[in-house]
Amino acid sequence: MSQVPKYKAASKPRRQGCKPPAPGFSLLELAIAMVVLSLMMGWLMTPLRVQNSLQHYQQTEQRLQMAQQALLGHAIIYHYLPCPDTDNPPDGWENLRPDLSCDDEEGLLPWMQLGLVATDAWGRYFRYRADNTFSEHKQWFSVNAAEGNSKIEVVGDSGAASSSPSHPAAIVLSHGENGLGGIQSLSGGVSHAMAAPVHADEQENADGDRVFVDKAIQQSADAVFDDRLIMLSPKVLIQQMVQAQRLP
């Protein structure tokens, strides 16, 4: 019995030079992915920026508190507050006239003299003003000087932050995160003045007079107030000096 020959089905000839398309993304898909990725990075970075800003404010508040304590300690030891540092560039030491009066009532905090960190958390020097009643080196102040002699005024959110008969003996001020009106510290002892303030309250803190503003952080469409300030109460100063037996 003869076998029927088997035939294989003819295979389809392959087309030379044509390959199936490789799997991948189109340019549109890549563009969409990049947009989504950038939005996600922005969402992740925003809390980090807020956390970093908060940390800087907390660190600056701590340094202001330390400055207040250092001023008290200086007064207890020497019987007067230090004069401001008015050098350009600043060197961290008070500046005196030949008659031992302060070169100026306002300048920068003499950090070297007080054993403090030179700047706030953003690298700007602390502004410092001491009433000359309490910074006079030749004639020490008395208990009676605690009331009514200081001319420094501080304005708060609801008006005067200090009573008229007991104005601060001194203030220490940070120009905040924006730094406007302050002096930036650079490496190598170099420094440069920041741009002028825009907010009216920040302008008040940088104009060199005896009135200062201590308010909560404010932000409007075109200006921000973020200065931080600490006062040295004359009553606290006198009380600490009496306790240390530096005043009768």
Say how many C-beta atoms besides its own lie within 10 A of residue 108's C-beta.
27
**pLDDT tens per residue across span 144-201:** 888 889 999 999 998 888 777 889 999 999 999 999 999 999 987 789 999 999 999 9
Average the pLDDT over 94-111 and give the result.
97
Kindly state whether residue 169 falls inside one of the protein's structural domains. yes
Domain count, the chain: 1
Residue 160, in any domain of the structure: yes
Q: Is residue 35 included in any domain, yes or no?
A: yes
Check residue 187 and give its pLDDT: 81
Please give the pLDDT value at position 21. Answer: 57
Amino acid occupying residue 98: P
pLDDT at 45 over 90: no
Average pLDDT, the chain: 88
Range of the domain at 230: 29-243
pLDDT in tens, 76-102: 999 999 999 999 999 999 999 999 999
- Whether 7 is covered by a domain: the verdict is no
Q: Where are the alpha helices (H) located in 79-128, listed in sequence order?
A: 111-114
In-domain check, residue 2: no
Q: Establish if 86 belongs to a structural domain.
A: yes
**Average pLDDT of 115-133?**
97
**Contact (Cβ atoms closer than 8 angstroms) between residue 233 and residue 173:** no
- Residue 238, domain member (yes or no): yes
Q: Kindly state whether residue 140 falls inside one of the protein's structural domains.
A: yes
Q: Which two tokens stand for residue 165?
A: 């008969």
